[in-house]
Amino acid sequence: MPYPLLQISDLQVDFISELGTTTAVKNISLEVNRGEIVAIVGESGSGKSVTSLSILQLLPTPPARYTAGSILFSADGTSQVNMLEQSAHQLRTIRGHKIAMIFQEPMTSLNPVFTCGFQVMEAIRRHQQVSTAEAKARTLELFEKVKLPNPALLMDRYPHQLSGGQKQRVMIAMAMSCHPSLLICDEPTTALDVTVQKTILQLIRGLQETEKMGVIFITHDLGVVAEVADRAIVMYKGAIVEQGSTKDIFHSPQHPYTKGLLACRPILHKKGERLPVVSDFLEGKNSSVKEVTAPLIVHSADEPPLLKVENLEVWFPARKTFFGKTLDYVKAVNDVSFSVRKGETLGLVGESGCGKTTLGRSLLRLIDPTGGAIWYNGQNITAIKKDALKALRQNIQIIFQDPYSSLNPRMTIGDAITEPMQVHGLHNSNRQRKEWTMEMLQKVDLKPEHFNRYPHEFSGGQRQRIVIARALALGPTFVVCDESVSALDVSVQAQILNLLNDLKKEFDLTTIFISHDLSVVRYISDRILVMNKGMIEEMGNAEDIYSNPQKEYTKQLIASIPKAAI
């Protein structure tokens, strides 16, 4: 009987620091066979990436230390090698050749100073004795196989000239260049739109079937697991808590943590008042999504909208002459008109590059419009001087996607929240500002002792709470949430969505919620605006958009959502 492709037994990995020893993963035992896709699922910090990096010995030692266990790899099924006992030279012959890996962020995986074609050719020539011409022909063949448009043209393009989905396809081509026996995919679709995600998942599945290789697919999204995996392994706090066929995991989960992961993701056919969170299941609480039966917010026809956008255009120069004359423009936002009533949440959805973020930022004049008008509370904010923007931005706040880059790493979170209040002259003294900051921290479920800590001392979900507290500390009436939960695990995402709903009611907020995750937008929005190529494709009530979409583009977006999310 042939050996499994990969066999991990009782693996334990520790990290050594000045503060002591931390066990990242313990007692990890799993198998991957040829021709199957095994998903490893769990939240950030569960140990999934540490497990995958251990297979290729990519963890720095120190601080990492392999304390126990073995990782046995068998490319041909007749003999095994223990990856923990291989020399640096032996590992180089395995990495990229017999075991390949695709990482989450292709931009940091690709060298920005070399063309995409050169980098794939380099990988081929490193492991195979072929000429430059043969490597180029093989690269073109791979680019066609991963369905890159115009492969000959993209061969000479640099990574920054490609979209996120195209860069990920280049990484897949590079991983497949030497016909590996095992492919490790570490969150390869997390940052991608649903349509791009669907094509990448189909591509990986198709390549796995044609190449007859084993695949380890690491993700925190159970919807993705349902799309691609034959078996699923659930990790929590560095240990495997459940594993089995994907069907069994989804239809009869045994561990409370697995039940929590399945329940906390918004789903399209239910609009929940509160999303259950994983901690409810771990603590044994009976948790389920409570459906909303209340009618939509109804406004009088005579009531003026809080925000009205008329024929808005935001164009960027695309090509210029030697003397600086613009020859062509990128029409990021093109003739967009809509309105938002007080207390309403408008969902803004579309693929990357459709113009939704540019539109959101132009509402605060962070980007100046090329044409059109933006009326806020009866005032044309496109016509006001920059000196008058200060008062406007107290009333209109924005919550960005990446809270870590939104916070000054040299400032405590207490200072980060009080500083905008000082800038706008709110409250009479530093003591009053500190008291209000403490109250805001409590409202976003953070503790008073967090006041003097720095951003790096918090998790991603906690940092997002800090940014929300900072935005609401100014008492705004209008908030733009720009992909505010896109980078978070599903369980943390559920907590933040519940928090935003609670704060919306408490502060009577009007919100524009920007996202490429349609199930999240459906959950939180009263009305939805679908954007495509800088223009409005479709607009209407959330219920109507999802139950009866009129435009083909909207239908494609909804069809691309992973099954488990539906």
How confident is the model over 179-194, as a mean pLDDT?
81
Domain closes at, from 146, 179, 212: 179
What is the domain count for the chain? 2
Rounded Cα distance between 71 and 80, Å, is 9
Domain that holds residue 467: 342-369+379-565
Residues 6 or more apart in contact with residue 264 via CB below 8 angstroms: 275, 276, 277, 278, 490, 491, 493, 494
CA distance 501 to 520: 12
Q: Is residue 429, in this structure, part of any structural domain at all?
A: yes
Mean pLDDT value of segment 456-480: 86
Percent of the chain with pLDDT over 90: 30
Distance CA 152, CA 456 (A): 43
Phi and psi at 162, nearest 5°, equal -110, 155
Q: How far is CA 255 from CA 9, 236, 252, 275, 303, in A?
A: 22, 10, 10, 19, 51
The yes-or-no verdict on residue 193 having pLDDT over 90 is no
Rg (CA), the chain: 25
Q: What amino acid is encoded at 321 in this protein? A: T
User: What's the pLDDT tens digit per position in 379-436?
Assistant: 899 888 877 888 888 889 998 877 777 889 899 999 999 999 998 888 888 999 999 9
Q: What is the CATH number of the domain that holds 471?
A: 3.40.50.300
Q: Residue 286's pLDDT band (boundaries 50, 70, 90)?
A: low
- Is 35 inside any structural domain? no
In this prediction, residues 85-90 reach a mean pLDDT of 90
State pTM to two decimals. 0.75
Least confident residue range of 137-141, 441-445, 458-462: 458-462
Pairing verdict, β 231-236 and 37-41? parallel
Q: How confident is the model at residue 157 (pLDDT cuts 50, 70, 90)?
A: confident
Q: Is residue 185 part of a domain?
A: no
- pLDDT of 155 strictly over 80: yes
Q: Which two tokens stand for residue 172?
A: 């897949």
d(CA 268, CA 546): 8
% of the chain residues with pLDDT over 70: 94
**What is the distance between the alpha carbons of residues 462 and 492, in angstroms, rounded to a whole number?**
9
10 is a domain residue = no
Q: What is the pLDDT of residue 390?
A: 82
d(CA 540, CA 510): 17
Is the predicted pLDDT of residue 92 greater than 60, yes or no? yes
Question: Could you tell me which residues come within 8 angstroms of residue 535 by beta carbon, excluding any fewer than 6 positions away?
Answer: 334, 335, 336, 355
Does any domain span residue 499?
yes
- pLDDT for the residue numbered 69: 93
CA dihedral over 439, 444, 448, 453, signed as positive or negative: negative
Domain annotation covers residue 550: yes
> 10 Å Cβ neighbour count for 135?
21
> In sequence order, what are the beta bridge partners of 527?
346, 541
Structure tokens belonging to residue 541: 């009530």
pLDDT band at residue 295 using 50, 70 and 90 as cut-offs: very low
Q: Is 70 helix (H, G, I), strand (E, B) or coil?
A: strand
Whether the per-residue pLDDT at 300 is higher than 70: the answer is no
CA distance linking residue 177 with residue 502, whole number of Å: 50
- The DSSP output letter for 311 is E
User: Residue 26 — pLDDT band, cuts 50, 70, 90?
Assistant: very high
Using the predicted structure, report yes or no on whether residue 192 has a pLDDT greater than 50. Answer: yes
Give me 504's structure tokens. 């919306």
pLDDT at position 375: 93
Q: At what angle do helices 164-176 and 194-211 cross, to 10 degrees?
A: 10
Average pLDDT rounded to a whole number, residues 352-370: 88
Judge whether residue 447 has pLDDT over 90.
no
Cα separations in angstroms, 521 against 149, 212, 306, 484, 541: 30, 38, 21, 11, 12
Nearest by Cα to 48 from 292, 250, 216, 231: 216
**Mind listing the pLDDT tens digit for each residue in 206-245?**
888 888 889 999 988 777 888 889 999 999 989 999 999 9
The two beta strands, 379-380 and 371-376, are antiparallel
Q: Residue 28: CB partners within 8 Å, gap ≥ 6?
A: 8, 10, 11, 12, 47, 51, 69, 239, 240
- The sheet that has 478-482: what strands, in order across it? 396-399, 478-482, 510-515, 345-349, 527-532, 535-541
At 121, the pLDDT band (50, 70, 90 cuts) reads: very high
Average pLDDT, the chain: 85
pLDDT for res 293: 37
With cut-offs at 50, 70 and 90, classify the pLDDT of residue 291. Answer: very low
Residue that finishes a domain, picked among 137, 153, 179:
179
Q: What is the pLDDT of residue 267?
A: 67
412 lies in a domain? yes
Question: Domain boundary at 159, 179, 199, which?
Answer: 179
Q: What is the per-residue pLDDT across 475-510, written as a single tens digit (0 to 9) for each?
A: 889 999 988 887 677 777 888 888 888 888 888 889
Q: What is the pLDDT of residue 285?
A: 66
In a domain, 222, yes or no: no
DSSP per-residue letters across 531-551: EETTEEEEEEEHHHHHHS--S
* Non-local CB neighbours of 287 within 8 Å, separated by 6+ positions: 260, 263, 276, 277, 280, 281
- Three-class DSSP category at 516: coil
Give the β-pairing of 239-245 and 231-236.
antiparallel
Per DSSP, helices labelled H in 104-211 are 106-109, 116-127, 132-145, 151-154, 164-176, 194-211
Structure confidence at residue 133 as a pLDDT band (50, 70, 90): very high
- Taking the C-alpha atoms of residue 124 and residue 113, their distance in angstroms, rounded to an integer, is 19
Which uninterrupted H or E stretch holds 362?
helix 356-362
pLDDT > 70? residue 287: no
Residue 273 has what pLDDT?
64
**Residue of 396, 365, 361, 359 whose CA lies nearest to 381:** 365
CA distances to 255, 445, 467, 518 from 458, rounded to whole Å, are 27, 13, 12, 28
